[in-house]
C-alpha cells in the first residue's frame, strides 16, 4: 500500500495529489446535497403523518391589500373565493383611502357569503404595517385555522385550499410552495425563477425534517391558538418577518406540516426588471441575519462548495496529466447528472416546470447572482421605528 502511494506521489507530486483530494471532497459534498439532502423533498409524504385534528377543518384565508390593486380584485380574488372547498372564508384587509375601490370590494363581498372585508385608512403621515393589517385580519376571521396569502398571488388549482386543509389536519403550522410568475419567459426570468427555486428548495429541505425557518409569504398559515400563545407577531419594528421570523418562534418538528403537491402551489407575480427584482430579493433577505446558524450554513455550504468544485475542476483540467483530466471531467459529468435528476424531482414537488434543459446556465451563474444580491443592502428600510 505504501509503495502504491509512493508511486502516486512520484508521478503526480504533492500538488497534484492535494488537488485530486480537494476535488473528490467537494464532489462528495455536492453529492450529499443533490443525492441525499434535496432528495428528502422528493421522498416526503404528508399523508404518512398522524392525524391531529378533525377532517376538513374550516379555514380563514387572510390577505392584506395595500392600495388600489385592480389585478387582485378582477383576477386573483375570484379564484380565492371560488375554491373547491366547503368550509372557508376569505378575509380581505384593505389598506388605503380610495372609497371607490373599497365600494367595489364591498359589492363583491355582498354577493359572496364566504368573504369578509375590513378597511384600515392609511396615508403619507400614518404608515400601516403589514403586520398591523394581518392582526386586523386575524381578529376579523371567524375560523381557527388561519392561512395567509398576498394580493399578487393566485392558486394554480381550485383544489388548493382542500390540499392546504390536509396540512391543518396533521399540523398546527402549515407551509406550501410558491413560485414566481413573470409575464414573459426569457433567459433572464428563468435565472430569476431558479434563484428563488433554489432558496425555496433549501428551506423546504429543512422544513420536511421539522426545522422550518421560512415559508413563502403567499402560502403559509397556523392555528389561532399558537398566535394567541405568543400574543401576536414578534419583531414589531420590522414590516417583514411574519413568514419566517415569526414562524421560527412557533414552529416545532411535531407541529409543522409541509404540503407538497402540484395543487398546493400558488404563483406570485414578480417584476421583470433586474434592478426591481434584485431590490425585492434584497429586501426580503433582510431578515436572514436572524435565521438559525444551521440554516444559514446549510445554504452557504452548498453554494460555496459548488463554486470551489468548478474552480478545482478547471484547475485539474488545466494542469493535471491526461488521465486525471478525464477523471475530473467524469466527476463533473457525474455531478451534473445528480444535479439534474435531483432538481427535476424537487421541481415537480415545489411547482416549477421546464427547468432541465437550461438548468446548467443557473448552475454556473447562480452563485454570481446570489453574490450580487448580497453585495448591497436593500434601499428600502424594513424598520418602521427604532
What's the CA gap between 280 and 381, in Å, rounded?
12
220-223 and 145-149 beta bridge pairing: antiparallel
58-143: CATH class: alpha beta
276 three-class SS: helix
User: How many of the other CB atoms lie within 10 Å of CB of 18?
Assistant: 11
Q: What is the pLDDT of residue 185?
A: 93
Residue 121, C-alpha cell as written in the block: 385608512
Using pLDDT thresholds of 50, 70 and 90, give the confidence band for residue 237.
Answer: confident
Q: Rounded mean pLDDT of 126-130?
A: 85
Lowest mean pLDDT among 1-15, 61-75, 90-104: 1-15
Say whether pLDDT at 1 is over 60. no
Say whether pLDDT at 54 is over 90. no
Closest CA to 228 of 280, 172, 174, 273: 172
| Each residue's pLDDT tens digit, 24-48 | 999 999 999 999 999 999 999 998 8
Please give the share of the chain, as a percent, with pLDDT higher than 70: 93
| Each residue's pLDDT tens digit, 259-290 | 999 999 999 999 999 999 999 999 999 999 99
Say whether pLDDT at 13 is over 70. no
Using pLDDT thresholds of 50, 70 and 90, give the confidence band for residue 124.
Answer: low
Q: Rounded mean pLDDT of 335-342?
A: 96
The segment(s) of the chain belonging to CATH 3.90.550.10 are: 58-143
Lowest mean pLDDT among 55-64, 114-123, 185-194, 309-318: 114-123
Amino acid at each position: 500500500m505504501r509503495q502504491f502511494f509512493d508511486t502516486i506521489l512520484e508521478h503526480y507530486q504533492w500538488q497534484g495529489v492535494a488537488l485530486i483530494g480537494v476535488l473528490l471532497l467537494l464532489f462528495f459534498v455536492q453529492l450529499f446535497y443533490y443525492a441525499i439532502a434535496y432528495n428528502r423533498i422528493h421522498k416526503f409524504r404528508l399523508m404518512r403523518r398522524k392525524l391531529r385534528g378533525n377532517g376538513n377543518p374550516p379555514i380563514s384565508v387572510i390577505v392584506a391589500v395595500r392600495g388600489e390593486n385592480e389585478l387582485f380584485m378582477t383576477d386573483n380574488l375570484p379564484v380565492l373565493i371560488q375554491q373547491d372547498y366547503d368550509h372557508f372564508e376569505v378575509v380581505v384587509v384593505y389598506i388605503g383611502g380610495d372609497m371607490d375601490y373599497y365600494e367595489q370590494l364591498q359589492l363583491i363581498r355582498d354577493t359572496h357569503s364566504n368573504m369578509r372585508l375590513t378597511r384600515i385608512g392609511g396615508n403619507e403621515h400614518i404608515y400601516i404595517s403589514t403586520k398591523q393589517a394581518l392582526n386586523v385580519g386575524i381578529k376579523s376571521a371567524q375560523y381557527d385555522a388561519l392561512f395567509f396569502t398576498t394580493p399578487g398571488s393566485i392558486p394554480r388549482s381550485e383544489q388548493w385550499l382542500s390540499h392546504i386543509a390536509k396540512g391543518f389536519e396533521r399540523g398546527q403550522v402549515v407551509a406550501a410552495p410558491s413560485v414566481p410568475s413573470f409575464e414573459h419567459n426569457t433567459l433572464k426570468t428563468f435565472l430569476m425563477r431558479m434563484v428563488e427555486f433554489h432558496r425555496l428548495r433549501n428551506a423546504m429541505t429543512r422544513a420536511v425534517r421539522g426545522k422550518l425557518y421560512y415559508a413563502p409569504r403567499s402560502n403559509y398559515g397556523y392555528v389561532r391558538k399558537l398566535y394567541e400563545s405568543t400574543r401576536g407577531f414578534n419583531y414589531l419594528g420590522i414590516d417583514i418577518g411574519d413568514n419566517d421570523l415569526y414562524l421560527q418562534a412557533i414552529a416545532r418538528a411535531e407541529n409543522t406540516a409541509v404540503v407538497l403537491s402540484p395543487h398546493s402551489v400558488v404563483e406570485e407575480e414578480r417584476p421583470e426588471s433586474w434592478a426591481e427584482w434584485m431590490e425585492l430579493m434584497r429586501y426580503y433577505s433582510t431578515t436572514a441575519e436572524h435565521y438559525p446558524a444551521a440554516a444559514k450554513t446549510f445554504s452557504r455550504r452548498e453554494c460555496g462548495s459548488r463554486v470551489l468544485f468548478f474552480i478545482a475542476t478547471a484547475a485539474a483540467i488545466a494542469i493535471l496529466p491526461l488521465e486525471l483530466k478525464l477523471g475530473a471531467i467524469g466527476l463533473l459529468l457525474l455531478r451534473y447528472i445528480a444535479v439534474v435528476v435531483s432538481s427535476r424531482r424537487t421541481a415537480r414537488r415545489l411547482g416549477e416546470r421546464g427547468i432541465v434543459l437550461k438548468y446548467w446556465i443557473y448552475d454556473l451563474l447562480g452563485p454570481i447572482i446570489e453574490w450580487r444580491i448580497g453585495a448591497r443592502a436593500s434601499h428600502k428600510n424594513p424598520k418602521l421605528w427604532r
